[in-house]
Chain A
Amino acid sequence: MTMLDKRMTPAEIVGQLSDGMTLGIGGWGPRRKPMALVREILRSDLKDLTVVAYGGADVGMLCAAGKVKKLVFAFVSLDAIPLEPWFRKAREAGQIEVLELDEGMFQWGLKAAAFGLPFLPTRVGLGTDLAELGGLKTVQSPYADGEVLIAMPALKLDAALLHVNRSDWRGNIHAFGPDVYYDEWFARAAAKTYVSCEQLVDRMEDHYPAEAQANIVERAFISGVTEIPGGAHPSSMPPAYGWDMKAFKAYTDAAKEPGNWAEVADRFVASDEQTYLAGFGGVEAVKALPLPIF
């Protein structure tokens, strides 16, 4: 029988992950990142992960802590701070394997995985160094045009992590904000998807029946939910709160001085979520962070 009550603690969610897994992380750069779940991974002894992400500080922190064996990425950036400092350090130390992709190829690979296809064809990547560096093969159209295309391999995920605005215990999620990026496709590409949310409600239909269009992916794709208000900090979670550029700056500065993750992990990860948030003024301060202006 399917377990319909999908409530879990963050530690239970991370307990479902194992060394060597391929892990997708939703969001985009410094936006809508399931940072509290990432911090829970950083508190665990999980290792050798293949991380698949439109990267921000999630990638930077996991690289800095030595959790990443391989990274699948198109960029890693904090937007206003264009170069993610800890990712940069890991790359320049030759510490991680990479598969570098175009942003569009990346979502194409998630879609191939979602549909159970080995690959999807695309023009993207031709004429660049991506195919050679990534070992990407080509296919030829079997029709009269005979066009040669890159075969973008499926990015199959063992698990995906998302942070959404609300969920009920069955995994009926709502995601708001102007853009939900490719969260839906991370969920569909993954064997299991675990979601943290700003607000956990009992039965979604009793609370927010008029907002069902915010259900960006169906509950069949959600395996676990946990309520973590402020759980995207320091990334943004519109409309609830903006990113914490001060925190990103401190995190960026720390990559220079002291430059050693072990010395600053206490501040940027902490022993538990409440202690972490207290270091940044508590959850009320997070919820008061203004939305970014582009």
Chain B
Amino acid sequence: MTDVTLAELCIFACSEAFRNNGEVVATGVGPVPRLAASLAKLTHSPELMMTDGEAYLVEQPVPLGPRGYDDRKAAGYLPFSRFFDAAVWTGRRHAMVTPTQIDRFGQINLSQLGGTHQQPKTQMLGVRGFPGNTIYHPNSFFFPSHTSRVFVAGEVDMVSGVGYNPAKRVPGGNYSAVDLRSIVTNLCVMDFGGPDNAIRVVSLHPGVTFAQVQEATGFELIDAVTGETALPDGEALAIIASLDPHNIRGSVIKDNPTIGRAA
């Protein structure tokens, strides 16, 4: 029996988002999404492609944290200088990211909070590649802290990624590749499977109730819970540990709680 942390449960749940994706670039930004994509490749979905986080495609996922610079073994090449040509604008990618805000339409914000565009109250990164990612390829999300500051009422402060908001859709545009898949948080797993792509809770992490999730969310959720989020098995835990030898995953969720025991 091995203790399972909430972070490991989330990695396991996130890795499911990359199942049956085909030969696409799986990009996980941040420790949990990156470990999830790597776990998916090493278990159920070896067809996934991924980079070393810099410019090369690797068939052996690169572990997190300090290691030798040349430990990676490149099998291919995908630098930023051809990322849009090859991965993003051809739709051959699935990214899992952590925006600062998300709303009921799946619109996301990484740019700024409050104030105006000329003078934001809080400036963040900028929209980065979110507008292109969301109109061209599948996207999923991981949030280590599920609160109504992240899952906001109304709409996000600056729409940096395309969602399912009909009012935002310029008529005549092609939105056929907008494909928001999975949302994993420290409380639950959600998808966009409700009417008009409304967000549904599909599984709750051990000990969490739907009411608790609803309480932590700024908009109404659909209860489509089919059960508890699955615990990772021993094999998955061993792979996660080997990919994260410095236990960076232990710093992702507040207090790094233990959630149960794996057989």
If A83-B124, A179-B79 touch, whether A127 touches B160 (CB-CB below 8 Å) is no
Q: Spot the interface stretch: B163-171, B187-195, B229-237.
A: B163-171
B171 near A124 with CB under 8 A, answer no
List B contacts of A108 (CB < 8 A): 84
Which of A104, A182, A184, A294 interacts with B132 by CB under 8 Å? A104
List A contacts of B170 (CB < 8 A): 126-127, 131, 138, 148
CA distance A92 to B114 in the complex (A): 10
If A76-B125, A88-B123, A91-B120 touch, whether A102 touches B130 (CB-CB below 8 Å) is yes
B221 contacts chain A at the CB level, 8 A cutoff? no
List A contacts of B115 (CB < 8 A): 92
B131 near A128 with CB under 8 A, answer yes
Taking CB atoms and an 8 Å cut-off, the chain A residues in 92-108 that contact chain B are: 92-94, 97-98, 100-105, 107-108
Q: How many A residues face the partner with a CB closer than 8 A?
A: 51
A83 near B125 with CB under 8 A, answer yes
B173 near A74 with CB under 8 A, answer no
Minimum CB distance partner of A124 in chain B:
B132
B127 contacts chain A at the CB level, 8 A cutoff? yes
B129 near A74 with CB under 8 A, answer yes
A129 contacts chain B at the CB level, 8 A cutoff? yes
A280 contacts chain B at the CB level, 8 A cutoff? no
**B127 to nearest A CB, angstroms?**
6
List B contacts of A94 (CB < 8 A): 116, 118-119
A76 near B126 with CB under 8 A, answer yes
**A108 to nearest B CB, angstroms?**
8
Minimum CB distance partner of A180 in chain B:
B81
A126 near B135 with CB under 8 A, answer yes
A92 near B121 with CB under 8 A, answer yes
List A contacts of B172 (CB < 8 A): 138, 140, 146-148
B126 near A73 with CB under 8 A, answer yes
A4 contacts chain B at the CB level, 8 A cutoff? no
**27 A-B pairs, CB-CB below 8 angstroms?**
A74-B129, A83-B124, A91-B123, A92-B115, A92-B120, A92-B122, A92-B123, A93-B119, A100-B117, A103-B128, A103-B132, A104-B84, A104-B132, A105-B131, A107-B84, A126-B173, A127-B159, A127-B165, A127-B168, A128-B131, A131-B170, A133-B158, A148-B173, A178-B79, A179-B80, A179-B81, A290-B69
